[in-house]
Structure formats: C-alpha cells, structure tokens
Structure 1
C-alpha cells in the first residue's frame, strides 16, 4: 500500500499526520476553532497530543476533541477507499451531533427512562412472538474478519445460526455493522415479523437508535440496516454487554478459520449450544 497521505499526497502518512498535521485536517480543526500550529506545536506523537488535550481541556471540551479525532479518522478511511472528501464544517457538525446524541442516550440510561440503551450484562429472551438476533464481529488482523449471528425465540431455541468469515480487513465498527445487516437479512428470510437486533457495539446501537447516517463506509452500512429494518412489522435495537452476547461472539470466532459461510438451521455447533443453554438458564436468575 502506498504510504503517502491519501488526502494531501505530500508526505508519508503517520498517525499524527493523518489526524492532526495534514493540511486538509488542519482545516477541519480550524472549523472547530483550533489553530493546530499554535495550540499543538511541538507535539511529536498521538500519545503526547492526548496528554496535552486532557491537561488543557475540561471534560466536555476534551470529549469534543476526541470525538472529532474519531470523525477525522473515519473521513480519512472514506477518502482512502475512493469517497469524495466532505466539507470540513460538515465533518465537525456531524461529529458534535453524534456526541450530543450519544450523551443524551447515556443520560437516559442513567435515568432508567423507557426507550434507552439498556446496559444489561446477560442475555434475555424476547417477548413471545418476537425473535432476538444477536450479532457480533471478529477481527483477525491481516487474516480477515468474521461475523456471527444467532437467532433465538422466546424459549431460547435457536432458529438459525451463521458464521461468515472473509479475507477483507474491515474496521471493527464496519464489521459490527455488516454482522448486524447479515443478521437482519437472515431474520427476513425466515419470515420473522417482530425482531430485536442485539449487539455489544455501543457505537453501532447508538447510530441505529438515533438513525444517524454519515457519508462514510460505516454510514452506508448503517443506512442499509435501517432500510432493512423497515421491512419488519417491528424492529428494535438493543445494546448488551459482551457477557450477554457470548453466543454471537463465539460464532464470529468459530474455528477453524474458513473463508466461507456456514449456517445451522434449528441448531448450532456444540460449543455455542452450551452457551445458548447457559444464557436461557441465567435469564431466570
């Protein structure tokens, strides 16, 4: 891969250049109100940058800078894969809107209001008549990535399970989103009308709940999920901690690594079956 920066095409890209020093990135920070040459002169790497931000900023301001950093990295990947560059002010606005949406959902969770992102630590069965689609991603670095899906009814019985492993090296958030899309596709093919899509990716669930669609590779997949969700009579999005998503997690990491799609109907591999049984039993505790 060409090490030259994909945006300015002037120098070899480093993390510091990609996120702070690239002339195109400086314009983004300028829209945010930061003169990079003035505020962060003398910074040699991203660890120094992070320490400086934490030292000089209050919690709110630091959160904004870190979320903008994430948006800049997404923009870099968007351009790297052939996308048209977004306007700097649009990148800043979208990042701050996402942060506000996320903060609002976290306030709801803290206040235990209805419709919030649940912070459950174990799997729970869906209501009778509904199915729960648990999804997860696995990153195998240079070997590729995997997507796991386990679909269960209100009695904890598996309707379908699936693992898809590919050689593509997607970012974790994109792989999580692709796993979610795969899970909804399976549910639709089963003729399910009422579904709960559950993931341990808070980033993904927040984007889906707020219907946040960005002009990026991740945004394209999120948009596909939202469109597919409209084909169901009822489709809800649920966040669960990793401990409550073990079945899908194990499916995504299913070995041996085989670049193919493997599907189980009304069953699942023995290892996952043990997790499914434990999940259902723990739901009564």
Structure 2
C-alpha cells in the first residue's frame, strides 16, 4: 500500500506531494482510485494541490488491480543503474555548489562536457579527456593527495612534480609529441587534440610500468593512421573498407560525404511482406511536446494487401515511448479480431521492443501497459521485431494523421487514402 501524503510516488522532482488542501481522512493512494481502475478525478482535484493533481491524473493505474511495486525512477526500465546514480550524485554536488542552473543553463548542464562526449573519437579517448578535465587521473600528485605513499616527482623525467599539467604539457616526451603533431591541423583539431592526449597518457603508462616506449615518430604515424580511419568511417559509413581504397577529404572533416548521403536518400528501403500463412502488423506512435499524440497500425498479408488499418488520437499520453506501446497494444487488439493467422509485430522503437520482449518482470513506469501487451502476445503465435524507420512509412503516416488531425478511424480491407501511395510503393517488388 502506498501512502498518499508520505511516500514518493508522483513522477516528478522529489516525487512527494504537498500538504492536502484541506483536512483529509484518506491516507492511501488506493483511496483515490475507483473500482474500475481509474482515478476519482473529483476527489483528487478536491484534496491535492493543483500542480500535484495534474501530475497524478497523468499516471495510468492498473485497470486489473495489479500489485504495487518499487522502482528506480531515474531509469525508464525502473531498474537501478550505477550511471543514473552517478548522475544523481553529480546533480546533488552541483546543487551544493550553486552550479546546478543559471539563466543560460536552466537545466544545470555543462556544455564543456558535451564538447568531449560529442567529439568523434573512440570512447576510451573520450574517457581520458573527461578524467583530465575532472583531475581524476592516477598521477603521482593525485596519488599523494589520496594518501598513497609514492614519490611526487615524475618517474619519467624526474624534473617536476607529476600533476596532470606536467604529464601532458611539460614532460619532455609530451612536448616532443606535441611538436611532431603541429603539422596538418585543420578543422578536426579537437579530435586530434584528444587523440594526442590519449596517446601521451598511453606512452606515459608504458614507461611507468617499465615497458619499451614507442618512438615519437611511431606515435605520430599511429595517430595519423587512426585519425584517417575515423575520417573514412564518418565520411563513408556505407562503404566496405576491405573492398578497396577510399578517398578521404580533409575539407569535409567528420561530416558525412554528400554523395553518400544523396545516394542513401534516393535508395529508400522497402517493406518486406510476411511468408504465406502469416500476417505482419506494422505500428508506430507519434508524440509532440505540446501534449498531442497519435498511433498508427496496419495489418498486411503476404501479398501486401491491407487487412485492417487504423489511426488513433491518443489522449493524456506522457511521452513517445507510451505512444509506441499504445500503438502496439491497440494494433494487437485489432489483429487478433480480424485475422486468425500468426502475427509478426513490427516497430521501429527499440525501447518499446526491449520492454515487451524482456524476460524479467517489468517495473518501469510502463509496467501495467507492458503486462497487457505481453498477455495479448500470448494469445496467438506472435513475435515482435525491430525494423528500420524508413521501412515503417505506412504506420508512421497513420500515426501522424491521428495526432495532427485528431482523428480516430478504422479501414477494413482497403488502403487509407492518406497512405495509399506508401502502401502501393511497398507492394511494387512483391510478385503477384
């Protein structure tokens, strides 16, 4: 049982409600839910503050009176992760320092970190740059600061105390590598800088652990070759690197090559029909920050013919994931009614698919909805698969119609006029 006025159960801020507007004899959240599983709207608005009541009414309780459960609110799956705990601790630390929000950064984010995490270099290089920025590298100075008895001077040159600045700027082997890398710095300078810092730290560790250090020229060639490979991957992501040489443009930098982009736009992938004796249910959800939402779904057979299609306007939808899950749920209900064949459910939402196919009990904010979908899936031979968004055009357009036009409609054995062209395109390569 959840206590209405003491437990943290509202999905926002500190999750607790304010004091009741007037004297209230109702102690439990269940006292505000009707027997059919819906909120007693009048009672909620009567006792809770206006802001609390608005957030409460957005919550969708279980219509089947499922048991309550504890969940970790900082992850969509409801499961505790070290990453989210670290993020929470960091926000608390920023709050104590008065750095959590300003007029320029209303959410308290620090743009300097985004420059590191968005830089097109390998994750281990990004991690090293973050450690440099937060002064958390295992330098001799940091070891001494943390109570580890070790000489403070640099073990490589023995000239100065080994702090982060000395390791990457002042130490002779670092200076030599900086000088060797001065040539050829263009628009990808930030990537080269991070790669250079990463290589300096690697060589530093090799020498510290009494391993033979690579030469400055060897490190320079390694870094230039590595950066060349990164440029190829970014500029020509569709090309096979093993089939031949690819021209790299340093003027383009880490932007995708225009020819590859135009080629991908002109070669749109097509929807693949199911095997004979099966049907495919394609679904999609549409949601906007203004609070409007829609769902689209279409059931087709092995010839690509529409058995049933529908667009739905969704009311009181919280986010895009809920819209996607609602599309799956409503689509499954339609498919189970209008066909007796095995069903393949197609969605382009990886998170929705992960929630539905998960083997463990779901404790996310979508738990009750996921439970209903899993029950529907068990009613028939059925599997849920992930497809590319470009292949899911028909249900995408139907979801858009449901949201923008606030329209709810079902079409039986005919293509909806709004998506007739997309359905016809999907059927072009299907043999008659």
- Please give the TM-score of this superposition, normalised by the length of structure 2: 0.42
In structure 2, the residue corresponding to 1:254 is in which secondary structure? helix
- Greater RCO (Cα-Cα under 8 Å, separation 6 or more): 1
Match of 2:287 in 1: 139
1:247 pairs, out of 394, 408, 430, with 394
CA 1:153/1:30 → structure 2, altered by over 3 Å: closer, same or farther?
Answer: closer
* Equivalent residue in structure 1 for 2:109, among 47, 50, 54: 47
- Structure 2 counterparts to residues 120-269 of structure 1, below 5 A: 121-142=269-290, 144-211=292-359, 213-232=361-380, 234-254=381-401, 257-269=404-416
Counterpart position of 2:232: none
Tell me what 1:80 maps to. Answer: none
CA apart distance, 1:269: 1.8
Aligned match of 1:15:
none
Contact 2:285–2:296, Cα closer than 8 Å, also in 1: yes
Q: Decide which structure has the larger Cα Rg and report it.
A: 2
In 2, are the aligned partners of 1:131 and 1:192 still within 8 Å (CA)? no
Structure with more of its chain in helix, by fraction: 1
Give the Cα separation in 1 of the matches to 2:86 and 2:420.
53
Unaligned runs of at least 5 residues, structure 1: 13-23, 64-119
**Is this contact kept in 1: 2:402–2:408, CA < 8 A?**
no
Distance 1:208 1:46 in 2: 34
Partners of 2:406 and 2:314 lie apart in 1 by 5
- Contact kept in structure 1, 2:294 and 2:402, CA below 8 Å: no
CA distance in 1, matches of 2:116, 2:82: 13
Whole-Å Cα distance in 2 between the matches of residues 197 and 46 of structure 1? 40
For residues 261 and 31 of structure 1, the distance between their equivalents in structure 2, rounded to whole angstroms, comes to 38
* 1:220 positional shift: 1.9
Distance in 1, Cα, partners of 2:305 & 2:366: 32
**Matched residue SS, 1:123:** coil
Contact 2:415 2:423 in 1 (8 A): no
Shift of the alpha carbon at 1:197?
0.3
Name whichever structure is richer in strand by fraction.
1
Aligned-residue offset at 1:31: 9.0
Match of residue 88 from structure 1? none
- Find the aligned partners of 2:374 and 2:320 in 1 and give their Cα distance: 19
Give the secondary structure class of the aligned counterpart of 1:165.
Answer: strand
The Cα of 1:217 is off from its aligned counterpart by: 3.3
Q: Secondary structure at the match of 1:7?
A: coil
Q: Does 1:5 align with 2:13?
A: yes
Q: Which runs of 4+ in 1 moved over 6 A?
A: 27-31
CA-based RMSD of the aligned residues comes to: 3.8
Cα distance change, pair 212–51 in 1 and its aligned pair in 2 (3 A): farther
How many equivalent pairs are there? Answer: 210
Once the two structures are TM-superposed, the CA of residue 139 in structure 1 deviates from its matched residue by 1.5
Query: In the TM superposition, what is the alpha-carbon distance from 1:153 to its structure 2 partner?
Result: 0.2
